[in-house]
Amino acid sequence: MAIRPTPGRSLVTGRALVDVIRAATLGSYGVTGFAGGPLTRIVEAIGLWQPGLTIRRGPALEIELDLDVALGVPVAEVARQVDSAVRYAVRRALDREVDRLVIHIGGLRVQPGGHLPAAAPPIAPTVVRSRDLADSGTDVA
C-alpha cells in the first residue's frame, strides 16, 4: 500500500541549502575546493562560514561559486559539470529551479598526491609526420 504525500509547506534552512550545494560542487569532476586563502580555509574548517559560496534567496534563487580547479583538467568542462550537478541537487532536494548560477574559477591547484601533467615533446611546425592526418581523426578520401 503506497503512502500518499500530504500537501503542505516545508522549511529548508540556509545551512541545509549550503550543504546540498557544497556536496554537489565538491563531488564534481576536477573541483579541488572553494577558492580562498589560508584564513578563509580556517573559518571554513570551524564551520562559521562557507567561503566561495554565496546564496541569495527570495523570489529568485541565485547561487555564486568561487572554485579552485585541478591543474590539467579542462576548466570549461568542470564548470559545465558543476552547473549540472548543482542544478540537479537543488531541484531534487527543494523541488525548485536555480534561477541564476555564476561560477568563478579562482585558481588552479595540484591535487594532493598528484603530479603535474607531462608536457608534450616539442615538434617543429615544419615537420609533418606520416601519421599526423590519420591521428587527427579527419576522414580523407
Burial of 93 from C-beta contacts in 10 A (0-12 / 13-18 / 19+): middle
Asked if the structure places residue 137 within a domain, the reply is no
Q: List, for residues 29-73, the tens digit of each pLDDT value.
A: 999 888 876 666 666 666 656 678 889 988 899 999 999 999 889
Asked if the structure places residue 81 within a domain, the reply is yes
Q: List, for residues 61-87, the tens digit of each pLDDT value.
A: 999 999 999 988 999 999 999 999 999
Tell which residue, 137, 116, 136, has the closest CA to residue 70: 116
- Residue 80's domain spans which residues? 14-111
- What is the number of structural domains in the chain? 1
- The enclosing domain of 68 has a CATH number of 3.30.70.1350
Asked if the structure places residue 64 within a domain, the reply is yes
Asked if the structure places residue 84 within a domain, the reply is yes
Please state the pTM of the whole predicted model: 0.66
Asked if the structure places residue 140 within a domain, the reply is no
Asked if the structure places residue 62 within a domain, the reply is yes
User: Which H or E run includes 68?
Assistant: strand 62-70
